[in-house]
Amino acid sequence: MGDCFSLQVSVMIPKVSTWVIALSILKVSIEQVKAARALLRWSQNDLAEASGVSIPTVKRLEATTGDLGGRAATVAAIRSALETAGVEFIPENGGGAGVRLRK
């Protein structure tokens, strides 16, 4: 074979900050999660199973008030499970945040 040479290529990929991802996710409160479960007639176990989040984590998160805390992936999994089941999260718009079932 003829002469061989090595080529090394460097590619710069910008890092996406966690705060940018967090800003793109609509805030959901613990109260909205509980109301959504009630509309679906889901237990904490049902939510854990549908979201892939452990039962102790769901219980720990629901024992607080305010915005749904935890890791961004956990929040996204819980929200996605509820939305897939037909829940719509209503943002604070002067009338208060809430939830409803899609038609």
Which domains are assigned to the chain?
27-101 (1.10.260.40)
pLDDT per position as a tens digit, 44-58: 999 999 999 999 999
**Number of helices and strands in the chain (H, E):** 5, 2
**SS3 letters across 4-29:** CCCCCCCCCCCCCCHHHHHHHCCCCE
Q: What is the pTM of this model?
A: 0.74
Smallest CA-to-CA distance from 90 within 81, 80, 100 is with 100
- pLDDT, position 24: 43
pLDDT confidence of residue 84: 96
Q: Please give the pLDDT value at position 14.
A: 53
- What is the reported pLDDT for 3? 60
3-state secondary structure of 34: helix
Task: Name the amino acid, one letter, at 18.
Answer: T
Q: What per-residue confidence (pLDDT) applies to 96?
A: 85
| pLDDT value for 20 | 40
Predicted confidence at residue 21, as pLDDT, reads 40
Residue 93 has a pLDDT of: 78
Give the residue ranges of the chain where pLDDT is below 70: 1-26
